[in-house]
Amino acid sequence: MEANVMDGDRETMKNTHILYLLMEILVLLLKVIYYIFESMYHLIVPLKKKNVAGEIVLITGAGHGIGKELAIGYASLGATVVCWDINEKTNNETMNDIKKIGRQSVYAYKCDVANREEVFRVAEKVKKEVGDVTILVNNAGIAFVKSFQNHSLDEIARVIDVNVTAQYWTLKAFLPSMIKNNYGHIVALSSVTAFIGAHCGTVYCPTKSATKVLMEAMSEELRALSNGKSSIKFTTVYPTLVHTGMCKKPKIRFPRIMGGLSPQYVASAIIDAQRRNYKDRSIPFHYLFISNLIRYLPDKALLSILDFFDSGVYPED
């Protein structure tokens, strides 16, 4: 009789476990449906922009191109801007251009973001002279538009160091204070080439994929460690071709629809994405959807599409 009771208890526990599992699955499905409709709603009604006045924004690669326009854009919105660049001359020019428009809360520091010791040394200087960085924009990036065989070993190492490894150093330098205060925002510039390899992109494209995954992993790690209570935001941006001078020989079959973007336009879109707390944003915004969609096509179909648009870059070598 006692054995029958124990068997009955086990059966009850088993049935209860199954019931709870079914309830969890139902709740999961309801959540998924809700978030799908929420996402669709925000395609029509964008998220409200948050105020960045008074934030301390550090931008790497601020001496030219997108980085310079980001610095000017954030300064115009009332943020304290910290400009980092390996080129001291152009970095100071960015700072002076910001001061000319009447914004005095701007600082410029020469820093090679690929140099670990230099990053930590300059970061300490920023903390003492300006304060804790609340918005970190990992913008610095380089590329050598060459075939893999023509890349030197030093060029390969340099691209990886600047485009990927440097982000670990800046995160190590500035993320701890954000975690301590449970407040902050990390922005990283990836590229639409993160989703598909390209001719002459054997070094550059993988660094942009690495940036994408690093941001995803870092965001998930903080969510897990904080039991979902982390208030630190992450935004990864995927621009198409931008006229910064990095790509000297673009190959474009349809310039009206794929002719490239100005640094001013891209910087404005990045700031908008950060202020709206978008986790991922392509520029133009529909490219992210298209890039994800075509990955499900058969390989030959994808190659046919690439051949039709016939766009990319001509090698510099």
Give the residue numbers annotated as catalytic, written as ranges: 204
Distances (CA, A) of 78 to 120, 135, 136: 26, 13, 16
Structure tokens at 248: 């000297």
Query: What is the b/e burial string over 166-205, where b = at least 16 CB atoms within 10 angstroms of the residue's CB?
Result: bbebbbebbbeebeeeeebbbbbbbbbbbbeebebbebbb
Cβ-Cβ contacts under 8 Å for 174 (sequence gap 6 or more)? 58, 123, 132, 133, 136, 184
How many other β-carbons are positioned within 10 Å of the β-carbon of residue 27?
Answer: 10
Rounded CA gap, 121 and 124, in Å? 5
Rounded CA gap, 247 and 142, in Å? 10
Q: Does a cis peptide bond (omega within 30 degrees of 0) precede residue 284?
A: yes
- Chain position carrying tokens 């301390």: 56
What values do phi and psi take at 46, rounded to 5? -60, 155
Distances (CA, A) of 22 to 19, 27, 59, 247, 314: 5, 9, 48, 54, 56
